[in-house]
Amino acid sequence: MVSKLRSQFSVNLFLITILFLSSLQIKAANYHDVRFTPKLQKAYFEIQKLKIEPARALIDEERKADPENAFITYLDNYADLHYLLISEDKNAFKEWSKKEDSRLLDLTKLSNSSPYKRFFQAEIRMHWAFIKMKFGNEVSASWDIIKAYHLLQDNRKKFPAFNPTLKSLGLLHVLIGSVPDNYTWVTKILGLKGNIKLGIEEIQFVEKEEPFFKQEAQLIDLLLHAYTLQLSDSQRALIQQLPKNQPDNLLLHFFATTILMKEGRSEDALYYLNYAPNGEDYLPFPFLDYLRGEIALQKGKYDIAFFFYSKFQQKYKGVNFIKDSNLKLFMSRWLADRDSDAIQYIKLAGSKGSTIVEGDKFAQRLSEEYADGKILPDQKILYKARYSTDGGYLTEAWNFIDNYTEKSFTTPSDKAELNYRKGRILQKMNQVDRAMPYYDRAIFLSQGTSLTFGPSAALQMGYIARDKKNNTLAISYFKKAMSYKKHEYKNSIDNKAKAALTELGE
Q: Is the pLDDT of residue 16 over 80?
A: no
Pick 114 or 214 by higher pLDDT.
Answer: 114
pLDDT, residue 17, reads 41
CA dist 25 and 145 (Å) reads 21
CA dist 311 and 379 (Å) reads 27
Q: Is the pLDDT of residue 11 over 50?
A: no
CA dist 409 and 24 (Å) reads 55
Residue 351 has a CB neighbour count (10 Å cut-off) of: 10
pLDDT band at 83 (very low <50, low <70, confident <90, very high): very high
CA dist 465 and 469 (Å) reads 6
pLDDT, residue 4, reads 39
pLDDT, residue 15, reads 42
pLDDT, residue 491, reads 81
CA dist 498 and 462 (Å) reads 11
Residue 83 to residues 13, 48, 53, 259, 295, Cα–Cα distance (Å) = 15, 11, 10, 21, 25
Helices (H), 20-51: 38-48
Q: Is the pLDDT of residue 405 over 90?
A: yes
pLDDT band at 242 (very low <50, low <70, confident <90, very high): very high
pLDDT band at 186 (very low <50, low <70, confident <90, very high): low
CA dist 357 and 456 (Å) reads 18
Q: What is the pLDDT of residues 442-486, one digit of tens each?
A: 999 999 888 999 999 999 999 999 999 999 999 999 999 999 988
User: Is-contact 223 15, C-beta < 8 A?
Assistant: yes
pLDDT, residue 75, reads 96
CA dist 88 and 393 (Å) reads 32
Q: What's the whole-number mean pLDDT along residues 297-302? A: 98
Task: Report residue 286: phi and psi, to 5°.
Answer: -60, -25
pLDDT, residue 20, reads 42
Nearest in space to 66 (alpha carbons), one of 39, 104, 105: 39
Helices (H), 372-489: 380-391, 394-401, 412-428, 432-446, 453-467, 471-483
- Looking at the structure, give the CATH architecture of the domain made up of residues 398-506: Alpha Horseshoe (1.25)
Question: Mean pLDDT for the chain?
Answer: 90
Lowest mean pLDDT among 98-112, 158-172, 177-191: 177-191
Distance of CA 36 to the CA centre of its chain: 31
User: Is-contact 445 412, C-beta < 8 A?
Assistant: yes
The single-letter code of the amino acid at 260 is L
Pick 449 or 387 by higher pLDDT.
Answer: 387
Lowest mean pLDDT among 101-110, 178-187, 283-292, 486-495: 178-187
Q: Is the pLDDT of residue 157 over 90?
A: yes
